[in-house]
Chain A
Amino acid sequence: MEVKINNIRKEFDRFAALNDVSLNIASGELIALLGPSGSGKTTLLRLIAGLDFPTAGQIFFGEEDASRHSVQERNVGFVFQHYALFRHMTVAQNIGFGLKVRPSASRPPKSEIKKRVSDLLDMVQLSGLENRYPNQLSGGQRQRVALARAMAIEPRILLLDEPFGALDAKVRKELRRWLREFHDRTGHTTVFVTHDQEEALELADRVVVMSQGKIEQVGSADDVYDRPQSPFVFSFIGESSHLPVEVKNGTVLFQGEPIGISEKTDAAGDLFFRPEDVVLTDEKDALFGKVTACRRLAGTRIAEIDIANNGHDPFHVEVEVPLHAPVELGSEARFRPTRWKIFNK
């Protein structure tokens, strides 16, 4: 099912949680809504589900205007952060609930429900646990019951709110891989919310980076990591440092001095670069500063460098240096970015 989100605005008590958000989701895609808390990602998910209603704008499921339908009519599978399993029902009753509450005209017979439940249990690899209560399951098992319950109604879209948020690190990794396989097998259009960039980048076909009620960038993992389109995306995803620079006659100047890199168009703005996109140099035109800390990171080292700022608080940057580079604590380091982006002020 294809989903179109058109100019959605959502206000809570005059505060705009979402501001003019538009997004097209292709059928069968696995999409991550990524952002810090308060960015509006969960609000967007709830609007798609019909758990909240937009102040303005429309949501289309295929050709159909979903904003005219209640949550019950939308037929979406929603997996809640804390699973929201019905604790007085067994696993089987939980999974069969969505079928049981259908109006009698469209409700499958009992035997059919039973079969569907057992198929779903197979699919989420929980066969044999149908008579357990949620209380008697582990976190990862509850998560999969919640997923099976959402799948039972044959949803048009699958929505997951922080699906791995309540799990410990090891289970989280396992389930992440499992969910990817599950998606590849079933092919449902799936949207999940996360604040964990690693999760989003690893799992999703496309990542929607959100901040302060707006979409900052939509793209593949490579797009958002290698070609961030805004200072927010650059600093939110991965590690980065930034410095105020000017571009004059194609030369990038920091504190009025050339630093050995060039740009096509003249501007004044912030130079962003990642720690690994830096090379140490002896040349005169370079950034330089005092090494204030040095820490080992897997196969390399990260040096923290303070760049003097005319008596104000120094600029603080982090660069990756080879293990045996002559970078000592307290010494001066000279370096140039090899890949960077300047965002105009």
Chain B
Amino acid sequence: MTASATASRAGWRVKQPSIIPGFGLTLGFSLAYLSLIILIPIAGLLWRTAELGWSGFFAILSDERTIRALYVSFGTAFIAALVNVIFGTLLAWVLTRYRFPGRRLIDAMVDLPFALPTAVAGIAFASLYAPNGWIGSLFMPFRIAFTPIGIVIALIFIGLPFVVRTVQPIMEEIDKEVEEAAATLGANRFQTIFNVLLPGLTPALLTGFALAFARGVGEYGSVIFIAGNIPYVSEIAPLLIVIRLEEFNYAGATAIATIMLLISFAMLLVINLIQAWSRRRYGNV
């Protein structure tokens, strides 16, 4: 409230006065570095897309192979994010509520997909789920690796920590009194979980889903080894960008990249809206 009061007195002002030095230096450096590394290159991408014109842009996007690749990327990322919401919630629940040997180890290992290089995950999953791999052989003759299911498997791995780490802190804050209150009102455990606890977690679940989904759509390294990369079937959009680049088809790569970028921005916006909405309605979430 002080901010608006000061602003109305002093007119529009970029920065509130402060005795701490270094504002110009640090902000100036940050903005310059941000522009050089992130903003100018992205602007370059958008500019190259603009050069294509609407018709050129749509011609590339309406290409059957592009559509299929985007469909595979978004479809597999969606399914993987859904699986992660279910198992991520279960995992977060088990980690916050139950005490069992190895809990700390598992809690630490949930972050493995953040830390493990994607290429390493990629070859590990490919060899595990291949028809002659430890897990793949169990499911034969049903094939996992080198089909879209393989992509989903890799994306479940990649997205898991996003859901767990978004839901876990909210679960830790749940007041046991709320569950007891539901019980005194006659709700059985099932009703308490599905009518009281899960709806309270909805904003966190949506955020976790959106984060896992956004990451899955753009994922490359862990997917390409297990996907089989069959055009129209298991070829993901990021791989198609790489293929277009290797063909020196910059226009093709640029157009696909731009549409993916725009969708990422939309996802980012959605995540922020979910959080703003839940903060407004439920207080601090």
Contact = CB atoms under 8 A, between A and B. Distances in A.
Q: When A and B assemble into the complex, do they touch directly, with CB atoms less than 8 Å apart? A: yes
Interface in A97-114: 97-98, 100-102
B186 A86 contact: no
Given A87-B200, A88-B200, A153-B185, A78 B180 contact: yes
A49 interface: yes
A102 B180 contact: no
Contacts of B267: none
A76 B184 contact: yes
A61 interface: no
A97 B183 contact: no
B184 A150 contact: yes
A217 to B, nearest CB: 29
Interface in A69-93: 71-72, 75-78, 80-82, 84-89
Contact of A78 (B184, B200, B202): B184
Given A88-B200, A101-B191, A133 B281 contact: yes
Nearest to B279: A135
A78 to B, nearest CB: 4
A149 interface: yes
A85 B177 CA distance: 9
Contacts, number: 76
A51 interface: yes
Contacts of B195: 97, 100-101
Given A87-B283, A88-B199, A88-B282, A98 B180 contact: no
Contact of B177 (A72, A82, A98, A150): A82
Given A101-B191, A135-B283, A80 B199 contact: no
Contacts of A81: 177
A135 B186 contact: no
Interface string A44-78: 00000111000000000000000000011001111
Contacts of B183: 51, 71-72
A86 B177 CA distance: 10
B284 to A, nearest CB: 9
B63 interface: no
Nearest to B188: A72
Nearest to B185: A98
B124 interface: no
Interface string A211-225: 000000000000000
A80 B179 CA distance: 11
A49 B177 CA distance: 13
Contact of B281 (A82, A101, A135, A150): A135
Interface in A9-39: none
B175 interface: yes
Contacts of A86: 178, 181-182, 196, 200
Interface size class of B (residues with CB under 8 A): 20 to 34
Interface string A268-290: 00000000000000000000000
B283 to A, nearest CB: 4
Interface residues of A, number: 30
Nearest to A86: B196
B214 to A, nearest CB: 25
Nearest to A51: B180
A95 B276 CA distance: 26
Interface string B226-248: 00000000000000000000000
A97 B182 contact: yes
Contact of B184 (A51, A89, A102, A133): A51
Given A84-B175, A86-B196, A87-B200, A78 B181 contact: yes
Nearest to A95: B185
B283 A97 contact: no
Given A72-B187, A76-B184, A135-B281, A82 B202 contact: no
Given A87-B200, A88-B199, A135-B283, A82 B175 contact: yes
Interface centre among B184, B186, B202 (most CB of A within 10 A): B184
B282 A135 contact: yes
Given A78-B180, A82-B175, A102 B186 contact: yes
Contact of B282 (A71, A102, A133): A133
Contacts of A98: 185-187
Given A72-B186, A75-B186, A97-B187, A84 B282 contact: no
A302 B162 CA distance: 64
A94 B78 CA distance: 33
Given A133-B282, A135-B281, A97 B185 contact: yes
3 residue pairs, one from A and one from B, having the closest CB atoms: A98-B185, A84-B177, A84-B181
23 contacts: A51-B183, A72-B184, A72-B187, A72-B188, A76-B184, A78-B181, A78-B184, A80-B180, A84-B175, A84-B178, A84-B181, A86-B182, A87-B200, A87-B282, A88-B199, A89-B199, A97-B187, A97-B195, A101-B186, A133-B281, A135-B282, A149-B185, A153-B185
Interface of B: 175, 177-178, 180-188, 191, 195-196, 199-200, 202, 281-283
Given A84-B175, A133-B281, 12 more contacts: A51-B180, A51-B184, A80-B177, A82-B175, A82-B177, A85-B181, A88-B202, A89-B199, A97-B195, A98-B187, A135-B283, A149-B181
